[in-house]
């Protein structure tokens, strides 16, 4: 059985002919290289966080408080990193988290298609944002045999929300991820400094502009008056009144698995479970929305309250070592955000695929060298607090 760590061996073998990797191998180098090619305003939008960005930084450094306990003579020469999620077997525990401006992070202005192509090439599923440059159906067509999940920002127009979910179901998405923490924008000084927001300029709104319900609300089509259509989007995007009373309605929209994104408290996990929700997505939106504790600190209690229900996790994952730690703390699958985003900006689908290969190789090596053969071996006892 091939190990994901064989990617490293391939680099060394290529080096015998003088070839060196064209793309960076670490997060810091990826971010720096992306900064050289991206528009400064867009770079700040992606790299920035809420307020003083302490939560964003803490998401990353919180992983450093955990160490992995090595076990020797464990026979871990071959590893199995596959997981099961909603009755389907996936070759890796990774998924690509939604990035609402990924469409404009690639020079083609079709970055969402590049993400789908990376998913098809790698077998790593992608959660496709409501905010895309290409309609969800066009993106789904590029996923190949790799499932995609549709991330819903629930609008304040129920008919529009229902239309989005039914379109995602018809397009073949494997589940609906309802994001709960973005009914209003967080305080983002970097974006405020530029006085800019991509969607207000009509970017990444293809799902809205292609939706018959949304178009029926407009006096003029987006093709006739882009500015007015963007303002109409802004007026319908958030749903501050969404509450637990709406869970039955959301759950009833589709037969697909429904996950709630942004759940960080065990009481909320239990309410979701009691409401028939199929999975929990533990996340603080990468530190972009509200000040909070690091997301990884919430994970153990969320997993315990889930009582076997799948728990997806993102926020602050920057390395394969981070992936292993999140899995040991109980995550069913681990989401990658900015790292693959930088890969898209640098080389499209090939760039994202490269980032995923790097993360998987490091995670695989971390497991093998520490003596853990499968994800089932990664329990909380694998970790020790170092700080």
Return the bridge partners of 336, or none. 96
- Complete DSSP assignment for 156-224: S-HHHHHHHHHHHHHHT-S-EEEE-S-SS----HHHHHHT--GGGGTTT-HHHHT-HHHHHT-SS-TTT
pLDDT of 275: 96
Q: Which of 106, 110, 285, 353 is catalytic?
A: 285
Question: Residues marked as binding for FMN?
Answer: 98-100, 129, 151, 179, 261, 283, 314-318, 337-338
Q: Look at residue 318 and tell me whether its pLDDT is greater than 80.
A: yes
pLDDT band at 225 (very low <50, low <70, confident <90, very high): very high
Under 8 Å between Cβ of 372 and 382: yes
Question: Residues marked as binding?
Answer: 45, 98-100, 129, 151, 153, 179, 188, 261, 283, 285, 288, 314-318, 337-338
pLDDT tens readout for residues 17-74: 999 999 999 999 999 999 999 999 999 999 999 999 999 999 999 999 999 999 999 9
Dihedral of alpha carbons 113, 118, 123, 127, sign: negative
pLDDT tens readout for residues 234-280: 999 989 999 999 999 999 999 999 999 999 999 999 999 999 999 99
What whole-number percentage of the chain has pLDDT above 90?
97
pLDDT of 174: 98
Could you say which of 3.20.20.70, 3.30.70.1450, 1.10.630.10, 2.40.10.340 is the CATH number of the domain covering 6-385? 3.20.20.70
Question: Residues marked as binding for glyoxylate?
Answer: 45, 153, 188, 285, 288
- For this structure, is 285 an active site residue? yes
pLDDT of 266: 98
Q: Look at residue 1 and tell me whether its pLDDT is greater than 60.
A: no
pLDDT tens readout for residues 2-29: 899 999 999 999 999 999 999 999 999 9
Average pLDDT over residues 214-227: 98
CB atoms within 10 A of CB 19: 10
- Name the residue ranges covered by the structural domains of the chain: 6-385
pLDDT of 9: 96
Average pLDDT over the chain, rounded to an integer? 97
Q: Look at residue 346 and tell me whether its pLDDT is greater than 80.
A: yes
Q: At 150, which helix (H) or strand (E)?
A: strand 148-153
Under 8 Å between Cβ of 93 and 124: no
pLDDT of 387: 84
Rounded (5°) CA angle 367-369-373: 45
| 181 HSE (CA, 13 A, CB side) | 22
Under 8 Å between Cβ of 40 and 196: no
Q: For 262, which DSSP code?
A: T
What whole-number percentage of the chain has pLDDT above 70?
100
Q: What's the CA gap between 82 and 105, in Å, rounded? A: 30
Average pLDDT over residues 89-98: 98
Backbone φ, ψ for residue 127 (5° rounding): -95, 115
């Amino acid at each position: 059985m091939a190990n994901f760590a064989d990617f490293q061996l391939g680099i060394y073998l290529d080096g015998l002919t003088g070839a060196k990797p064209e793309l960076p191998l670490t997060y810091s180098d990826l971010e720096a290289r992306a900064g050289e090619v991206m528009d400064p305003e867009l770079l700040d939008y992606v790299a920035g966080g809420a307020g003083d960005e302490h939560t964003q930084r803490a998401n990353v450094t919180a992983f450093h408080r955990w160490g992995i306990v090595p076990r020797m003579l464990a026979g871990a020469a071959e590893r199995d990193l596959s997981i099961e999620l909603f009755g389907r077997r996936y070759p890796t525990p990774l998924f690509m988290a939604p990035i609402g401006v990924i469409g404009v992070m690639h020079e083609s202005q079709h970055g969402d298609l590049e993400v789908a192509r990376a998913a098809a090439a790698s077998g790593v599923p992608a959660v496709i944002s409501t905010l895309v440059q290409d309609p969800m159906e066009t993106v789904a067509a590029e996923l190949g045999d790799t499932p995609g999940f549709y991330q819903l920002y629930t609008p304040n127009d129920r008919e529009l929300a229902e239309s989005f979910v039914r379109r995602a179901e018809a397009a073949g998405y494997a589940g609906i991820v309802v994001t709960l923490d973005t009914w209003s924008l967080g305080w983002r000084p970097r974006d405020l400094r530029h006085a800019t927001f991509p969607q207000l300029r009509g970017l990444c709104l293809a799902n809205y502009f292609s939706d018959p319900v949304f178009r029926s609300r407009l006096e003029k089509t987006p093709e006739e008056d882009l500015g007015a259509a963007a303002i109409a989007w802004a007026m319908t995007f958030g749903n501050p009144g969404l509450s637990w009373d709406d869970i039955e309605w959301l759950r009833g929209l589709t037969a697909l698995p429904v996950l709630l994104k942004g759940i960080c408290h065990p009481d909320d996990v239990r309410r979701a479970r009691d409401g028939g929700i199929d999975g929990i997505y533990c996340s603080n939106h990468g530190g972009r929305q509200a000040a909070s504790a690091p997301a990884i600190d919430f994970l153990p209690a969320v997993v315990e309250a889930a009582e076997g229900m799948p728990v997806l996790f993102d926020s602050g994952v920057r390395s394969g070592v981070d992936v292993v730690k999140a899995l040991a703390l109980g995550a069913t699958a681990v989401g990658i955000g900015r790292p693959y985003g930088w890969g898209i900006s640098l080389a499209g689908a090939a760039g994202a695929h490269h980032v995923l290969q790097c993360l998987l190789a490091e995670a695989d090596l971390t497991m093998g060298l520490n003596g853990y053969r499968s994800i089932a071996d990664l329990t909380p006892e694998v970790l020790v607090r170092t700080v």
